[in-house]
Structure 1
């Protein structure tokens, strides 16, 4: 697998992680305004999971789009 193919694959997976994290956070957001404790707990954990997915996708995308030199991480 060449480096350009690997970078393209990482960009696609990172973009999918961004989209999945954003969807998870947006889906759970209305339930966070509920007065019911079960709704808060049930929406809080997936919201944090979506935030972790979004952040990891953002970091992976930033690292692959960064410098194209061979010394770049």
Structure 2
């Protein structure tokens, strides 16, 4: 197996940063989802869903990179 290129390293780091940012956004908004105020629910709901999308995108990217490194994606 060849040595990873700079593009692969940046992509791997970016995937981890994407997952971390999504988790941070979800955890930051989570307490506001328990509010009885509708404005708090809407204000926290959209970023929570956005964080979930970021986590899913980062995990998909990590999965594709792991397949490529293992050589199963030919």
TM class, shorter-length: 0.7 to 0.9
Aligned to 2:64: 63
TM-score, normalised to structure 2, is 0.85
Instruction: Name the count of aligned residue pairs.
Output: 71
TM-score, normalised to structure 1, is 0.87
Unaligned runs of 5+ in 2: none
Aligned to 1:42: 43
Unaligned runs of 5+ in 1: none
Distance in 1 between residues matched to 2:33 and 2:67, nearest whole Å: 35
Aligned to 2:8: 7
Aligned to 1:30: 31
| Ranges of 4+ aligned residues in structure 1 off by more than 4 Å | none
